Every structure is written in C-alpha cells, then in structure tokens.
Amino acid sequence: MNAHQPTVLIVEDVPALAASYSAFLSREPVFVHTVSNGAEALAYLERRPVAVAVLDVHLPDMNGLEILHRIRAMGAPADVIVITAEGSVKLAVEAMREGAFDFIVKPFSKDRLVVTVRNALEHRRLSDRLEEVVEQSGEGPPGRLIGQSLAMQVVYRILRSAAPTNATVFITGESGVGKELCAEALHKLSKRKDGPFVPVNCAAIPKDLMESEIFGHVKGAFTGASSDRKGAALLADGGTLFLDEIGEMDLGMQTKLLRFLQEKTVQRVGEDNLRRADVRIVCATNRDPQAEVMAGRFREDLFYRLHVVPLELPPLRERDGDVLLLSRHFLELFAKEDGKALRAFSPEAEAVMLAYPWPGNVRQLQNVIRSMVVLNDGDVVTLDMLPKTMWSRHATPPAPAPQAVQAPPQAPPPATPLAAAEIRPLEDVIRCAIEGAIDACGGSIPRAAAALQVSPSTIYRRVEGWRTGELPK
C-alpha cells in the first residue's frame, strides 16, 4: 500500500463480486480495501480516511441506504458510489437524494466502475481543495489587518491563541507597523469584543494629566477639573485598555499602574473610594522594553507583569509581498475617496515599492499613496508618480541585498594594463555589470539599480533595449 494513495472501500458481501471489483481497480493509483457488511464498513470508515466507498445496497446486516445515511451522519468525507440491482432505479434515486455521489446498476463492465471511481476521486480532490481554501481564508487576517506574509501569519497565530485568555499582551515594533490595529484585532477576537476598546496614547498626554486620563478625577480635584471624569480604566470596564507608547510613562505613574494591575481597583484623583474595573490590558512600545528596564526608565516589576504574551510586529520590509497588498488596498480606498481613476500600479512602480525599505512602515506607505492619489490622474500608477527619494540614486538603499549592496559591482581597476585585444565594447561591459548586479540581487531590478547607483528606469530601459535591439542613446 502506498500511503499517499487514496483509499477505495468496497462493501460487498459476495466474495466473488468483491474480488472482481477489486481486480477491476487493480491498475488504478488507489488502495483498495474490501469489507463484507455494513458494520465492518462503518468501523473502517471511523478509523481510516476513505476517499470513495463502493457500496452494494443489499447487505446482510444493513440496508445500503442506512449505511449511506450513517456515513453522512458521521461526517466521513467519503464519496459513495451505490451499486443497485437491475430494475431498482427508485432505490438509486433515493441513494442520490441521500447524498450518494453516483450509482451503478448491476451487471456492469470494468470500464464503468473505473470511470465512476475516477470521477468520484476527482470530485473528492476538488472538494478537499475547496475545504482547504475555505479553511485558509478563515485563517486570514483578523480585524482590519491586511497581509498574508509568513511573518504576519506568525502574528495572527499569536493573536488567535492569546485572544480568548485574559493575559496581558505586550506589543513591540517600529513606529507605524500597526501595533494599535493589532491591539484592536485582539480585542475583536476576544470574549470582550462587545465591551469597549479604549486606546490611550501615553506619548500624547502631558505628564501631570496622565493619572487623571487613566484613572479619572472628581470635580475640583485640581485646577481645571470642572467636572467628574471617569478615566480610561473605568471606561474600559468589561473591555480592553490599550496603553500605547507605554515606554513614555513616567516612573511615578508606572507605580500607580502596577497597583491597578495588582488590585484591579481604580482610585480617581481627588477621591478616596476604590472602584473595581474589569479590564484586559494590552500595551505597546516602539522602544526596546528590556533596554528601558536596564536603563532604569521602566520598572522591572511592572515590565514582568505586562510582558505576559510578547508580540513582536515585523517591520513592513520583512513582510514579503504584503507591501503590494497594502498598496492596492490603499490605492483603491483613496482613489474612491477622491473620485480618481487610478486603479493599478505599473510593474516598475511595484518593483520599486517592493524594494524600498519603508522606514516609516505601513503609516509611511499609507501617506505615500494618499499624496500620490491627490497629486496624480490617469488609471495606472507609474514610477514617476512615486516620491523620487524612493527610486533615485539618493534613495535610502533598499533592504540589504546579497553582496551587491555592500559591494557595488563596479569593475575593479585591472591589476595589469589591458592588452588591446582584451578591450571589450563599452555596451558589453555595461551589460555584464547590469546582468551581474541583477543576478546578485536575486533578480530584483530596483535593488540592482540601488547597488549600481542608478535609477531603476535606467536599467529597465537597457534591458528593454537588449530585448528589442534598440539601445538607449
């Protein structure tokens, strides 16, 4: 038996018939197993994956239709071919209604059985594939997140595992990678999804207002406190409190936050009462939290309380083709908003976007597309519509490419003067340098262009010229 071959289960109580059906299928790439009654068939189906079951409707212990019904009820994914006696078309119709894949009327030829089994196998294969696709799409990005890269799949898995728990999630990542969007997705995946999601940007709140912002205050607690205020912790009761840029919180406030985490009670500024707040905390920083602890800027005890489920968001440059998914999404969104016809990117524009390192991550990409849409018309985004800094020779070099970036493929000075016969046409030398750079950069023209310190369009023009025989002047 080949473990990769699909199993065909033959359910037939007459040994001679079972043997001949088995022989009919002997040249097919399947594993055939034979049983002689319904009970054995069901027991086998329960233990082993069966692709196709060939089922005689007249069995000693059970009616074929009953077996069919039970196969469907147990959720076995087998396609069932029912064998009926001549003249029992009614039974065949009933079997089809019960979910059989096809029926064969006795007596039948080898070809009839082989063709029907092949059809069923193909049907099974397509159904399995469809299920796989549906399953995968169910595992797509949570919330409003966009991206299918492997790096983001890891993030989605952590979000999905952490979501149903109450554990604090500590998100790290460069600015603009989508930390807040992840916190929101986690909330939406959690049991608290119908409760509030309250984000607090610790970097945007003046130091002396932070306590009141998070824990609230009563009227008259300080100058300017003209009315009672609930504060983010009480507002997030039953939901999630997202503390963004937690690295910006001063040590005094960190102590108060630690107390809140330990006691789960809130004391508003200017009030003695303690109020309970059932809150899940998610926090984020674009600093290195461990380094902050070492430097004495972040309380170690608070860090360990918060750092229960660490989630590191990868920078955009490490997310394979997500740049294009995000670009297309933002292009569609902004073009619609602005009533523009821009619908797609030219291959050159896409190549440059893929090669660009995006130091400001998704936020920068969003801004680039936003302003590009405002400033341009037409239906295709071309290279010149993108900021020149992304593709000109002064651009930040794209993500590290193999050797080529560190060692631009300029011809090293010859150790000895060239003999006249060794001199090659300049165009050959250029072609050799360009093709060498493209190879060294894994086929990426924008990266090769950065390494050669020319714009990608120079290379595109040359490559096109070699193809058509018309070299650029």
Ligand X SMILES: Nc1ncnc2c1ncn2[C@@H]1O[C@H](COP(=O)(O)OP(=O)(O)OP(=O)(O)O)[C@@H](O)[C@H]1O
Q: With respect to ligand X, which residue has the nearer C-beta, 144 or 461?
A: 144
Of 37, 149, 175, 367, the residue at the interface with ligand X (CB under 6 A) is: 175
Whether residue 107 has a cis bond before it, omega within 30° of 0: yes
- Cα(371)–Cα(349) distance, integer angstroms: 15
Q: With respect to ligand X, which residue has the nearer C-beta, 284 or 383?
A: 284
| 433 interacts with ligand X by CB under 6 A | no
| 147 interacts with ligand X by CB under 6 A | yes
**96, exposed or middle or buried, with CB in 10 Å at 0-12, 13-18, 19+?**
middle
| 123 interacts with ligand X by CB under 6 A | no
Q: With respect to ligand X, which residue has the nearer C-beta, 250 or 312?
A: 312
Taking alpha carbons only, the member of 309, 363, 268 closest to residue 172 is 309
The DSSP 8-state label assigned to residue 229 in this structure reads B
Site for ligand X in 358-397 (CB under 6 A): 362-363, 366
Torsion of CA 347, 352, 355, 360, to 10 degrees: -130
Question: Residue 51 in contact with residue 124, Cβ under 8 Å?
Answer: yes
Question: Residue 270 in contact with residue 222, Cβ under 8 Å?
Answer: yes
| 248 interacts with ligand X by CB under 6 A | no
Considering the complex, what minimum distance in angstroms separates the CB of residue 156 from ligand X? 10
Considering the complex, what minimum distance in angstroms separates the CB of residue 249 from ligand X? 14
Q: Which amino acid, residue 410? A: Q
Q: With respect to ligand X, which residue has the nearer C-beta, 113 or 243?
A: 243
Considering the complex, what minimum distance in angstroms separates the CB of residue 171 from ligand X? 8
Q: With respect to ligand X, which residue has the nearer C-beta, 246 or 253?
A: 246
| 64 interacts with ligand X by CB under 6 A | no
Instruction: Choose the binding region for ligand X from 138-146, 219-227, 297-305, 437-445 (rule: CB under 6 A).
Output: 138-146
Q: With respect to ligand X, which residue has the nearer C-beta, 152 or 441?
A: 152
Instruction: Choose the binding region for ligand X from 40-48, 109-117, 172-180, 204-212 (rule: CB under 6 A).
Output: 172-180
436-462 as b/e: b if 16+ CB within 10 A: bbbebbeebbbbbbbbbebbbbbbbeb
The C-alpha angle with vertex 52 and arms to 49 and 57, in degrees rounded to 5, equals 120
Q: Contacts for 287-292 with beta carbons within 8 Å, 24 or more apart?
A: 287/247, 288/172, 289/170, 289/172, 289/247, 292/247
Of 64, 176, 289, 357, the residue at the interface with ligand X (CB under 6 A) is: 176
Considering the complex, what minimum distance in angstroms separates the CB of residue 315 from ligand X? 10
| 286 interacts with ligand X by CB under 6 A | yes
| 282 interacts with ligand X by CB under 6 A | no
What number of CA atoms fall less than 13 Å from residue 122's CA on the CB side? Answer: 6
- Cα(366)–Cα(362) distance, integer angstroms: 6
Count of residues near ligand X by CB under 6 A: 18
80 CB contacts (<8 Å, ≥6 apart)? 52, 53, 55, 68, 71, 95, 99, 100, 101
Site for ligand X in 216-245 (CB under 6 A): 244
Of 40, 66, 98, 180, the residue at the interface with ligand X (CB under 6 A) is: 180
Taking alpha carbons only, the member of 276, 348, 284 closest to residue 310 is 284
| 451 interacts with ligand X by CB under 6 A | no
- Cα(342)–Cα(331) distance, integer angstroms: 7
Instruction: Choose the binding region for ligand X from 112-120, 176-184, 270-278, 448-456 (rule: CB under 6 A).
Output: 176-184
Q: With respect to ligand X, which residue has the nearer C-beta, 118 or 363?
A: 363
Considering the complex, what minimum distance in angstroms separates the CB of residue 181 from ligand X? 4
- Cα(363)–Cα(380) distance, integer angstroms: 22
Considering the complex, what minimum distance in angstroms separates the CB of residue 167 from ligand X? 20
Q: With respect to ligand X, which residue has the nearer C-beta, 12 or 245?
A: 245
Which residues bind to ligand X, rule: CB under 6 A?
144-147, 173, 175-181, 244, 286, 326, 362-363, 366
